[in-house]
Amino acid sequence: MLKTRVIAALIAAPLVILMLFFTSEAVFTLSFLMLASIALYEWGNLAGLHSLAQKTVYIGVYWFAAYWMIETMYMLYGLIGVSLFWVWALIMVFIYPAGNHWLSVRLVHLAVGLLLMLGAWMGLVLLKRLPEGEWLLLWTMILVWGADVGAYFSGKTFGTHKLAPAISPGKTREGAVGGVLVAVAATLALVFIVPAYKTFQLPLWLWAGLAVSLAVLSVAGDLFESIVKRSAGVKDSGSIFPGHGGLLDRIDALIAVIPVFSCIMYGFYNMHI
C-alpha cells in the first residue's frame, strides 16, 4: 500500500512542479481547470449522478461558472465566500454526525461541489498571478504533502487516540499533530532557503502561524471529504491513482487550503504596494 502511494506521488510531484514553473498562465489555468473537472466528475458520482449526460451537464455548468468568474471582478469575492464556507465545514466536522442532512439534498450536494472546485481553481489562478506566485503555490503544496506524510508515519508509530472515529476511524490525534509539525518544519525550511519568500516581507512567526493554521485546515478538508464519501457509502472517490484512490482523495486538503491561503496572500501583497 505504502509502496504504491510513494510511486504515484513520485510521478505526480514532478508534473505538478513542471506546471507551476514552466508553463504560461494560460496553460496553467487550463491544465488545472481540467484537473478540477476530473475531481468534480468524482464529486458528481458521490452526489448520485450516474449517467454520462448528467455529469457532462454538471461539468459544463462548472466551466461556464469558471469562465464567468475569471472574466469579471468577482473572483476575489468568490474566494472570500469559499473561505467562509470552510469555517462552516470545520464546524460540520466537529459536530458530525449532526448537521449533515444537506448531503441528502442532491441540489445542495451538487452546489457544494461546484463551490469547492471553483474556489480551489480560482485560488490557484490568483496565487499564480501574484509576484513569486509559483513559489507560493509550491509552499502550499509542500505544506499539504508534509501534513499528509507526517500524519501517516506519526499515526503508524505513535497513534493510539482516535481523531474522529465516526468520520475516519484510521486517523489519530497523534498522527494529526505529527502531520502539523512536519508541515510547519518543511515550510519554514523552504522560507529560509528560497529568497523569493522575502518578497512578501512576512516575519518568520507569521509564516509559522500560517503554516499551523493551514495545516489544521488541511486536516479538516480531508475529514470533510471523508464525510461526503461516508454518506455515499464508498471508501475512495475513484481509482485514478494506484494506492491513492481518486483525484478528489488526493486534493481534498488542497481544496480547503488554497482558497484561504490565496485570500490571505492577496491581502498581504496589497498592503505592501
Rg (CA), the chain: 18
Nine-digit cell string for 123: 485560488
94-138 pLDDT per residue, tens = 888 887 888 888 899 999 999 999 999 999 999 998 889 999 999
What pLDDT band is residue 38 in, cutting at 50, 70 and 90? very high
Alpha carbon 13 to its chain centroid, in Å, reads 15
What pLDDT band is residue 241 in, cutting at 50, 70 and 90? low
Cis ω before 195 (30° cut-off from 0): no
- pLDDT > 70? residue 187: yes
State how far the alpha carbon of 231 is from the alpha carbons of 45, 85, 255, in Å.
Answer: 12, 19, 19
Q: How far apart are CA 118 and CA 123, in angstroms?
A: 8
Q: What is the mean pLDDT of residues 169-198?
A: 93
Whether residue 214 contacts residue 257, with contact meaning beta carbons closer than 8 Å, is answered with yes
- pLDDT > 70? residue 153: yes
Other Cβ atoms less than 10 A from the Cβ of 117: the count is 26
Residues 6+ apart with CB under 8 A from 43: 110, 113, 116, 117, 228, 237, 248
- pLDDT > 80? residue 6: no
